[in-house]
Structure 1
Amino acid sequence: MAALVSFLKVSEDGALVRYRFGDDPDACTRYLTVNKESRRSSPDDGRTDYAFVKASRRISALREERGVWPDRGMSAS
């Protein structure tokens, strides 16, 4: 089974980064928030499911690679 999760940064301030994410890049309907200091993310709807984990891990990996929070991206498996 293939899985695709897209994400798009919607806001960033000194403490938090917020992303929209979902399986359709044109209709990402869920949100997650990352605490910049702890690097912990949480789904705004409380559902810690596969899509959330994939988006969260990819965002974190890109942050480590580039040194900045990514504006957008995707994770495919």
Structure 2
Amino acid sequence: MAAIVYFRKISETEEVVEYEFGDDPDDFERRLTMDKASCTSTAQDTQIDYTFLQASRKLTALHAERGMWSERGMSVS
């Protein structure tokens, strides 16, 4: 079974980046906050599930690869 998650940056400060994410790119249901210093993420709804982990891991990988926080993207597994 395939899983897909889309994400889009909604704000960025010197300390954190906030994203909305979900399985529908036109209707994001959830948000996560990424701490820039530690590259750790927090689910704003406190639900740590596969969708959250998939988005968080993809964002961290893209940051490591590009050296910047992505504006938007997706992950398929």
Task: Assess same fold via TM > 0.5.
Answer: yes
Q: Sort the TM-score into its range (normalised by shorter chain).
A: over 0.9
What secondary structure is seen at the aligned counterpart in 2 of 1:47? coil
Q: Which runs of 4+ in 1 moved over 4 A?
A: none
The 5-angstrom pairing of residues 1-77 of structure 1 reads: 1-77=1-77
Q: TM-score with structure 1 length normalisation? A: 0.98
Alignment RMSD (CA, Å): 0.5
Q: TM-score with structure 2 length normalisation? A: 0.98
Structure 2 runs not aligned, ≥5 long: none
What secondary structure is seen at the aligned counterpart in 2 of 1:68? coil
Number of residue pairs the alignment of both structures matches: 77
Counterpart-to-counterpart distance in 2, 1:16 and 1:10? 11
Structure 1 runs not aligned, ≥5 long: none
How many percent identity over aligned positions? 52
